[in-house]
């Protein structure tokens, strides 16, 4: 589908989901009215029957009324869930259109929590933060899924992993209903300001219920209390239930702190776990074709011989157990239910049974769901962005060949300029010169961002791309630091030291250095840049350097196969600067600094 057809596709879905949303909102209102009316009618009926001393009829009406009322509550919850689900589905499709238009600044998930200035490339390439790559492509609806997506973008995968992900993303791209339902189920339970990422709920090392005596008492004492209370109607002493109540209190007191610790460590995962119940269920019900998705689905079902023990049901049991433990926070529940029936001991017993049986499987299940959640984001790109295509992954060292390569975050599309570029050898420095604002830095980020997408298993913003998975390293936005008494020049030197340490470790590094050594005088900058290029080439790595130092370009005379000159040029028409943002071979032929200075009032011609 072309861009217009894709927008119409999303608009049609918006109207369909909006109609369903309105339908279930009306049902919600009708059920609310019914419940109030039913409660009032039953109350009137009970009062009338009580006044007529028709106690059996009154009891029957009460049971009937309560049964219908409870059923209506459960049905009402289902209606509310469906209303919210269709509401979220409508919003998801509206967001897809916003992404196509480049309006993604309001999306909550911008990946700011993953910003790390020490990372080899994420800060310079706008991977995380406001108006970032992550914010634009993220459709992951769980904290775990977002962390997995960030992991994909922070670390290049192996060729076999990339190919497996590509196959999975292609299948997800073709199944919009699955992608949107999966995203909606995750968002249904998410409040991103409060939800904690799930790790492993089984924090406690020791089992509480390893003593058979405690297990017997946890059943025997509540039964004794109930029987002794019934005995009060037959003249038995009140001392027995009081003693049992005290014994129950003492037992709970003994384990109070341990249960409190477990509750506090697990309750923060409750919302994420609740989402994973539905996400696991939709994965289990889907017949995938790609090998990677089949394997991820299988990991939710392996070692489980019946549907009764599939991951979604076991996770649901974990959710209910943790939720039941949270009831202890209510003082009335604690006094009138928890103590008499030793409620929390039974929940801890079930919790520990899950621990013994599924402790090793829970992390695998959550990891599988998180990975599908992350791949969902790539699937959305592959479906909606017609200018994106899957790269061919090659094992040829330092190979990069692109046709119509463009920056994925430039909007509107008419402002997006594509370039062809080819790099086929190691020990190559692609030296890019150019006039101010001509597009040097944008080109470096264009190449870098598409390398990141390719190495993550995602489609790239190019008609064609053949690329080797690289470890990227950038030095493009070094800043001074008053707190650390660090100048911008020294900050850049520290960054270059990181690069040298990385290449010395033997990594296959592709470097991106923007305006190299810009914080020092021209002579030192030239000598330092020349020495750095040679040092990097001695380590066999390749990369890109942008600079205003045209003398560096003359190194092609002595190293014709190791330094390649490219440039971005500008033109002056009627005293106005014009840029085509197209890369050319050779050293820059045009300069505009004097014109720009004149435009702000510096009288260049008078010197």
Strand partners, 107: none
Residue 350 shares a structural domain with residue 436? no
Residue 597 burial (CB count, 10 A): 12
Strand locations in 225-312 (E): none
The pLDDT of residue 159: 95
CA–CA distance, 51 with 539 (Å, rounded to integer): 97
Would you say residue 478 has pLDDT above 70? no
Confidence of residue 196 (pLDDT cuts 50, 70, 90): very low
Average pLDDT over residues 45-54: 85
Strand locations in 491-533 (E): 509-513
Question: Is there a domain that residue 211 lies in?
Answer: yes
Strand partners, 466: 392, 401
* Residue in the structure block whose two tokens are 């380590």: 539
In terms of Cβ atoms closer than 10 Å to its own Cβ (0-12, 13-18, 19+), residue 45 is: middle
Question: Is there a domain that residue 130 lies in?
Answer: no
Residue 169 shares a structural domain with residue 238? yes
Would you say residue 523 has pLDDT above 80? no
> How long a stretch of residues is the chain?
607
Q: Which of 465, 472, 464 is nearest to 448 (CA)?
A: 472
CA–CA distance, 424 with 417 (Å, rounded to integer): 23
CA–CA distance, 332 with 421 (Å, rounded to integer): 71
Cα–Cα distances (Å) from 295 to 187, 283, 298, 376, 600, in that order, read: 25, 11, 5, 16, 62
Residue 336 shares a structural domain with residue 432? no
- When divided into structural domains, the chain yields a total of 3
CA–CA distance, 535 with 544 (Å, rounded to integer): 14
The pLDDT of residue 394: 94
Range of lowest pLDDT (82-96, 217-231, 295-309): 295-309
Q: Return the higher-pLDDT residue of 449 and 330.
A: 449
CA–CA distance, 18 with 242 (Å, rounded to integer): 58
* Model pLDDT for residues 382-419, shown as the tens digit of each residue: 999 999 999 999 999 899 999 999 999 999 888 999 99
Average pLDDT over residues 155-180: 97
CA–CA distance, 605 with 594 (Å, rounded to integer): 9
Q: How far apart are the first and last CA of the chain?
A: 59
Range of lowest pLDDT (44-58, 289-303, 484-498): 484-498
Residue 476 shares a structural domain with residue 586? yes
Q: In what order do the strands lie in the sheet with 429-434?
A: 471-475, 509-513, 542-547, 429-434, 563-573, 576-585
Confidence of residue 599 (pLDDT cuts 50, 70, 90): low
The pLDDT of residue 303: 54
Percentages helix, strand, coil for the chain (3-state, rounded to 5) are 60, 10, 30
Q: Where in the sequence is the domain holding 589, given as residue range(s)?
A: 392-606
Average pLDDT over residues 288-313: 81
Question: Is there a domain that residue 456 lies in?
Answer: yes
Residue 415 shares a structural domain with residue 558? yes
Strand partners, 579: 570
Q: Which of 592, 550, 585 is nearest to 571 (CA)?
A: 592
Give the contacts of 14 (CB within 8 A, at least 6 positions apart): 90, 93, 94
Confidence of residue 201 (pLDDT cuts 50, 70, 90): low
Question: Is there a domain that residue 119 lies in?
Answer: no
Q: Which of 530, 551, 533, 549 is nearest to 541 (CA)?
A: 533
Nearest 5°: the CA angle 498, 502, 506 is: 165
Residue 241 shares a structural domain with residue 315? yes
Average pLDDT over residues 315-337: 88
The pLDDT of residue 8: 96
Q: Which of 355, 384, 413 is the last residue of a domain?
A: 384
The pLDDT of residue 592: 57
Residue 292 shares a structural domain with residue 429? no
Average pLDDT over residues 72-92: 92
- What percentage of the chain reaches a pLDDT higher than 70? 88
User: Domain containing 457 — which CATH number?
Assistant: 3.40.50.300
The pLDDT of residue 194: 40
Contact 129, 111 (CB under 8 A): yes
Per-position DSSP letters for 314-352, written without gaps between them: HHHHHHHHHHHHHGGGSHHHIIIIIHHHTHHHHHHHHHH
Would you say residue 195 has pLDDT above 50? no
Would you say residue 576 has pLDDT above 50? yes
* Model pLDDT for residues 346-370, shown as the tens digit of each residue: 988 888 888 888 888 888 898 999 9
Confidence of residue 456 (pLDDT cuts 50, 70, 90): very high
CA–CA distance, 60 with 54 (Å, rounded to integer): 10
Would you say residue 279 has pLDDT above 80? yes
Q: Residue 555 carries which DSSP code? A: G
Q: Is the dihedral of CA 111, 112, 117, 118 positive or negative?
A: negative
Residue 181 shares a structural domain with residue 95? no
Q: Which of 101, 123, 149 is the last residue of a domain?
A: 101
Average pLDDT over residues 248-274: 84
Range of lowest pLDDT (71-75, 125-129, 477-481): 477-481
Contact 450, 461 (CB under 8 A): yes
Average pLDDT over residues 478-493: 61
Q: Which of 349, 365, 384 is the last residue of a domain?
A: 384
pTM metric for this prediction: 0.86
Question: Is there a domain that residue 550 lies in?
Answer: yes
Residue 414 shares a structural domain with residue 548? yes
CA–CA distance, 301 with 506 (Å, rounded to integer): 40
Q: Return the higher-pLDDT residue of 291 and 555.
A: 291
Nearest 5°: the CA angle 529, 532, 537 is: 130
Residue 344 shares a structural domain with residue 454? no
| Highest-scoring range by mean pLDDT, 46-50, 72-76, 159-163 | 159-163
Question: Is there a domain that residue 129 lies in?
Answer: no
Residue 336 shares a structural domain with residue 244? yes
Would you say residue 596 has pLDDT above 70? no
Question: Is there a domain that residue 106 lies in?
Answer: no
Average pLDDT over residues 445-463: 97
Residue 400 shares a structural domain with residue 511? yes
Give the contacts of 151 (CB within 8 A, at least 6 positions apart): 374
The pLDDT of residue 169: 98
Question: Is there a domain that residue 126 lies in?
Answer: no
Would you say residue 204 has pLDDT above 60? no
* Residue in the structure block whose two tokens are 């049986």: 357
Task: Report H helices in 155-238.
Answer: 159-173, 176-188, 212-231
Average pLDDT over residues 26-40: 90
The pLDDT of residue 558: 64
What average pLDDT does the chain have? Answer: 86
The pLDDT of residue 481: 47
The pLDDT of residue 193: 40
């Amino acid at each position: 589908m072309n861009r217009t057809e894709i927008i119409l596709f999303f608009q049609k879905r918006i109207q369909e989901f909006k109609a369903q949303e309105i339908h279930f909102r009306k049902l919600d209102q009708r059920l609310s009215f019914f419940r109030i009316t039913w409660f009032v009618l039953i109350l009137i009926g009970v009062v009338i029957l009580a006044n007529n001393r028709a106690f059996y009829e009154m009891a029957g009406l009460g049971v009937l009324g309560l049964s219908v009322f409870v059923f209506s509550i459960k049905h009402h919850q289902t209606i509310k869930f469906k209303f919210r689900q269709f509401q979220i589905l409508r919003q998801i499709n509206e967001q897809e259109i916003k992404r196509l238009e480049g309006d993604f600044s309001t999306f909550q998930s911008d990946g700011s929590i993953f910003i790390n200035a020490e990372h080899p490339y994420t800060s310079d390439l706008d991977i995380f933060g406001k108006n970032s790559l992550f914010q634009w492509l993220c459709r992951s609806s769980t904290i775990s899924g977002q962390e997995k997506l960030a992991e994909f973008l922070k670390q290049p995968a192996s060729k076999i992993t990339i190919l497996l992900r590509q196959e999975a993303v292609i299948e997800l791209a073709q199944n919009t209903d699955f992608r949107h339902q999966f995203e909606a189920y995750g968002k249904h339970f998410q409040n991103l300001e409060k939800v904690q990422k799930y790790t492993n709920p089984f924090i406690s090392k020791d089992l509480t219920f390893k003593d058979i005596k405690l297990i017997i008492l946890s059943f025997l004492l509540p039964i004794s209390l109930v029987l002794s209370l019934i005995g009060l109607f037959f003249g038995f002493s009140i001392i027995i239930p009081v003693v049992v109540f005290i014994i129950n209190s003492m037992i709970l007191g003994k384990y109070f702190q341990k249960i409190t610790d477990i509750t506090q460590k697990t309750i923060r995962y409750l919302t994420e776990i609740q989402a994973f119940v539905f996400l696991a269920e939709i994965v289990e019900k889907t017949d995938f074709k790609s090998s990677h998705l089949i394997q991820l689905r299988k990991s939710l079902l392996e070692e489980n011989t019946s549907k009764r023990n599939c991951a979604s049901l076991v996770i649901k049991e974990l959710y209910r157990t943790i939720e039941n433990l949270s009831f202890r926070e209510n003082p009335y529940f604690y006094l009138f239910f928890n103590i008499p029936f030793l409620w929390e001991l039974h929940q801890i017993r079930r919790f520990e049974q899950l621990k013994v049986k599924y402790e090793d499987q829970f992390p695998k299940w959550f990891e599988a769901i998180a990975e599908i959640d992350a791949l969902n984001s790539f699937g959305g790109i592959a479906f909606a962005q017609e200018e994106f295509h899957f790269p061919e992954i090659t094992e040829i060292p330092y190979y990069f060949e692109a046709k119509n390569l463009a920056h994925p975050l430039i909007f509107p599309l008419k402002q997006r300029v594509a370039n062809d570029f080819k790099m086929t050898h190691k020990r190559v420095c692609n030296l890019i010169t150019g006039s101010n604002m001509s597009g040097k830095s944008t080109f470096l980020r264009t190449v870098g961002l598409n390398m990141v997408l390719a190495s993550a298993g995602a489609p790239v913003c190019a008609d064609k791309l053949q690329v080797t998975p690289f470890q990227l390293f950038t030095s493009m936005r070094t800043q001074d630091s008053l707190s650390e008494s660090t100048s911008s020049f020294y900050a850049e030197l520290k960054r270059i030291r990181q690069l040298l340490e990385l290449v010395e470790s033997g990594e296959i590094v592709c470097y991106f250095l923007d305006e190299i050594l810009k914080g020092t005088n021209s002579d030192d900058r030239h000598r330092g840049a020349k020495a750095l290029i040679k040092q990097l080439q001695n380590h066999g790595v390749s990369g890109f350097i942008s600079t205003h130092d045209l003398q560096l370009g003359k190194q092609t005379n002595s190293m014709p196969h190791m330094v390649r000159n490219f440039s971005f040029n500008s033109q002056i028409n009627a005293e106005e600067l014009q840029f085509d943002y197209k890369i050319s071979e050779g050293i820059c032929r045009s300069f505009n600094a004097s014109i720009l200075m004149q435009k702000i009032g510096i009288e260049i011609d008078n010197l």
